[in-house]
Every structure is written in C-alpha cells, then in structure tokens.
C-alpha cells in the first residue's frame, strides 16, 4: 500500500513539475559515461633512440588490430615521447595519470626510463606491463612490494648474457684479460659488469676478475675515449660484450674495426636494433646479437606466421607512401607478442581497470602462443618467457643461428687486419 501511495505522489509531482526540473532529475540519476580503458606508453620517438619508439608502437598497433578486425576491444593506447630521458618519462606518466586516467603502462622503452616507470607504478599501484628492458630492477623477488605491479614478457639481460657467455666459454675458453665490457654509463652498464664479474668468478675461480671496462654517456654517441682505452691494451682482447643501445654501439664497432682490431663483438637484444644493423652494412666485423623473440625467418612457428600475416593486413591500412617505411624487426615483434599476451588476458576479463588488469594477466597460468615453448604468468611468476635466441650480423642482416654454431663461426678467424 505504501509503495502504491508513493508511486502516486511521484506521478503527481511529475505532472506538476516544470520541464527543466524533470530533466535535471533524469540527469542526476543517470550513470556517468564510462570511457574505454587507456594504457599509457612513454618511449623515445626522438633523440638517439627515436626509431625504437616507432618500432614498438607499430608492433602494438599490429597486435591490437588483429583483434579489432574480429570484435571491438575496449582499449586505447596513449603514447608520449620521452626521448629516452627519465625526467621526461616521469612527467609523461604523471600527465597521463592525471589527465587521461590511464589504468596501466605498456612497453615503456629503456632501462633508465623504466626504472622511473617502476617507481611510479609502486606509488600509484599502477600496472607496468611488458617494459622493453631486461633490467634486474624490473624483476624484483615475489616478496618485494613492487612485484605485484611489474609484469614482464621477455627474458632478462642477465639471462641473455649468461646464455651466450656459457656457450662461448664452452667452445673457446678464455681468460678475464681476453674480455672487454663496452656499456652505457648507467644502470644497464653496472648490471653488465656485475653479471660478467659473477660469470668469471664462477668459471675461472677468480675472486676479483680484472678486465677492461669502457663506457659512454647515455645522452651522447661520444665513444672515442672508449676506443682509445681499448687501443692501449696489449694484446688485443678477444671478446667485447656490448651492453649498450644501438647507435653508440655501432659507432664503437666501426671505429674499432677502422683501427685494425678484429675482436668478436657480442651484444644483448637492446643493441640489436635496425639502426645498429643498417649502420654496419659496410663494416666487416664479427658480431653476435642475442634475441628475446624467435627469428622471423623461423616461419614454421605459428607466432611468426601470424605476425607476418597481421603485418600485411596492417600495412594495407596505411597510405601507400608509408607502407615501404615499415620494416619488420625484433623490437616490433617483441611488442607484438606482448600485446598478444595482453589480448589473451582480455579475452578472459574484457572489462579491465587499474585493479583487475594484473589479475587477468596472472590468471593466464601456463599458455602457448606459438613461440615453440610455453609461456607462464601467475601470482608467483611475472616473467612470461625465459627463452633466448642468437643471431649473427652479416651484410646488415641478422642471420639466426644456433648457440652450438658459435664455435664454427669463431674458428673462421679474423676477417682481415688493416
């Protein structure tokens, strides 16, 4: 009875009330419009590493389009240029949080910038997904408070170095004096020194391994001092590990060969950019580069087949004058794979927000994406892949090889001496 009486009073008021008051009541009770969730990405689109940002962005776009062609994925990506500068990264992320209300970060590029991203992720309880970096800082132990908010796709730089170092030591044993570390003078470089120190201690039982360490400033390509330090060492070391970005590393390799030295160069995935390969097309040097994605030449793998097909579909959406500018790369493939993993999580939880995005990724458990080995993400595993591949640089192209083939290539000896 009370309900009927209440309804009658409401109808009476509705009939007597002015139109503007009725409309105001409807506006008050209507739920606010909910925008599609947005992930933010701060990466270099300018400066020394500017090409890396475009490659990563293209890989994300190819991955997202695969599913948007089938059904609507409620997800936007906001990109900002940080020019590989940590201060700009912090500013970018803060702006995206405050103005665009991002629910997480995806594929932020580089170690010094990703360190900033990780700190903000912890402060804001914001997911940092698949940063393009193998830094140990981004792989905290499960008991660390930041573990919850950082989820990686790729192997760590340490895993890359260990894999190639152990194979090298097995096929061509060497002493610490045969080794050189060329690195960025920041977190990634310090990590490289720690990994090599540990490996030399492990293999050679030296308490304090002595080998040449040369570096360059992250903001410049001034590598001449590093080359000069190398030229002063007699005899010339046999192996140079490159823990650096592509452009400075390419200049270093070119100058070392220019002065007649012919060591073997071994670079981690961050070195192996398109810029690095293109810069050394005319340089006769022995260069091995590790990878955290399968070679695109391995077309028997489903993930490679799907990437190449999706890339073709994506290119068809671009103006003809832009289609020839998109060249497949390992970096592009890495961001594509990480996007595919994200979309797989969205299939289970399509209505994501800042709080359940991590839960959706952790719910994947062990899964197969067609890489040749299973991937895994759960509450105790926040790195999907631990696989490392190897390539050999020849005529500006990365040629995929097996780790067991290193010995054969090394036994070929120097290319030439000037």
- Within 10 Å of residue 172's Cβ, how many Cβ atoms? 15
DSSP assignment, residue 239? E
- Residue 414's pLDDT is 52
Give dist(CA 402, CA 395) in Å, integer.
19
Q: Angle at CA 235, nearest 5°, toward 230 and 241?
A: 50
Encoded tokens for 408: 């054969």
pTM reported for the whole predicted model? 0.88
R_g over Cα of the chain: 26
| pLDDT greater than 90 at residue 336 | yes
Percent of the chain with pLDDT over 90: 74
The string of pLDDT tens digits covering residues 104-160 is 999 999 888 989 999 999 999 999 999 999 999 999 999 999 999 999 999 999 999
What is the structure's pLDDT at 75? 86
Residue in this structure with the two tokens 């962005």, named with its chain if needed: 57
Looking at per-residue confidence, does 403 or 8 come out higher?
A: 403
Domain limits, CATH 3.40.50.2300, in the chain: 38-154+299-386, 157-291+390-411
Domain 38-154+299-386 falls under CATH 3.40.50.2300: yes
Q: Given a cut of 50, is residue 4 above it in pLDDT?
A: no
pLDDT (0 to 100) of residue 418: 40
- Work out the angle between the directed axes of helices 111-124 and 187-204 (0-180°, nearest 10): 110
Predicted confidence at residue 13, as pLDDT, reads: 42
Beta strand 104-106 with 128-129 is parallel
In 3D space, the residue among 100, 188, 149, 157 whose CA is nearest the CA of residue 290 turns out to be: 157
Sequence-distant (≥ 6) Cβ neighbours of residue 115 within 8 angstroms: 86, 135, 137, 138, 187
Classify residue 34 by its DSSP letter: P
Query: From residue 20, how far is each of 8, 23, 26, 224, 407 by CA, in Å?
Result: 21, 5, 10, 75, 83
pLDDT digits (tens, 9 = 90+) for 26-75: 444 433 334 689 999 999 999 888 889 999 999 999 999 988 777 676 78
> What H or E segment, with its residue span, contains residue 389?
strand 389-394
d(CA 303, CA 293): 10
CATH class in words for 157-291+390-411: alpha beta
Task: For residue range 264-317, list pLDDT tens digits in order.
Answer: 999 999 999 888 999 999 999 999 999 999 999 999 999 999 999 999 999 998
Distance CA 216, CA 191 (A): 15
Q: What is the mean pLDDT of the chain?
A: 88
Taking CB atoms within 8 Å and a gap of at least 24, the contacts of 162-168 are 162/195, 162/199, 163/290, 163/388, 163/403, 164/266, 164/288, 164/290, 164/388, 164/390, 164/403, 164/406, 165/196, 165/199, 166/199, 167/403, 167/404, 167/406, 168/239, 168/266, 168/406
User: What are the Cα distances from residue 417, in Å, to 51, 276, 335, 409?
Assistant: 33, 22, 39, 17
Provide φ and ψ at 328, rounded to 5°.
Answer: -60, 140
């Amino acid at each position: 009875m009370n309900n009927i009486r209440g309804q009658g009073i409401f109808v009476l008021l509705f009939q007597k009330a002015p139109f503007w008051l009725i409309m105001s009541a409807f506006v008050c009770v209507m739920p606010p419009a909910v925008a599609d969730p947005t992930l933010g990405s701060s990466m270099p689109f300018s400066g020394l590493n500017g090409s890396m940002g475009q490659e990563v962005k293209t890989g994300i776009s190819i991955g997202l389009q695969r599913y948007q062609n089938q059904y609507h994925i409620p997800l936007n990506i906001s990109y900002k240029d940080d020019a590989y500068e940590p201060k700009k990264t912090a500013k970018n992320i803060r702006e995206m949080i405050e103005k665009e209300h991002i629910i997480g970060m995806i594929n932020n590029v580089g170690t010094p910038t990703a360190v900033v991203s990780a700190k903000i992720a912890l402060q804001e309880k914001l997911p940092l997904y698949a940063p393009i970096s193998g830094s140990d800082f981004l792989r905290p132990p499960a008991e660390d408070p930041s573990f919850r908010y950082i989820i990686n796709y790729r192997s760590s730089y340490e895993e890359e170095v260990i894999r190639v170092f152990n194979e090298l030591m097995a096929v061509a044993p060497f002493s610490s004096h045969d080794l050189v570390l060329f690195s960025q003078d920041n977190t990634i470089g310090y990590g490289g020194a720690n990994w090599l120190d540990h490996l030399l201690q492990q293999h050679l039982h030296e308490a304090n391994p002595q080998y040449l360490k040369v570096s360059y400033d992250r903001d410049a390509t001034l590598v001449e001092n590093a080359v000069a330090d190398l030229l002063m060492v007699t005899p010339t070391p046999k192996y140079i590990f490159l823990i650096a970005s592509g452009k400075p590393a390419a200049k270093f390799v070119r100058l070392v060969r220019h002065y007649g030295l012919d060591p073997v160069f071994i670079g981690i995935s961050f070195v192996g950019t398109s810029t690095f390969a293109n810069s050394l097309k005319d340089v006769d040097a022995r260069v091995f580069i590790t990878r955290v994605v399968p070679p695109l030449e391995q077309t028997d793998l489903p993930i490679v087949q799907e990437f190449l097909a999706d890339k073709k579909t994506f290119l068809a959406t671009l103006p003809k004058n832009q289609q020839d500018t998109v060249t497949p790369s390992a970096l592009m493939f890495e961001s594509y794979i990480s996007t595919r993993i994200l979309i797989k999580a969205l299939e289970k939880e399509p209505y994501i927000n800042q709080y359940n995005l991590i839960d959706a990724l952790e719910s994947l458990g062990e899964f197969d994406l067609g890489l040749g080995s299973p991937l895994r993400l759960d509450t105790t595993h926040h790195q999907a892949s631990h696989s490392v591949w190897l390539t050999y640089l020849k005529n500006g192209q990365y040629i995929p090889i097996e780790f067991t083939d290193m010995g054969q290539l090394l036994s070929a000896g120097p290319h030439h001496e000037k």
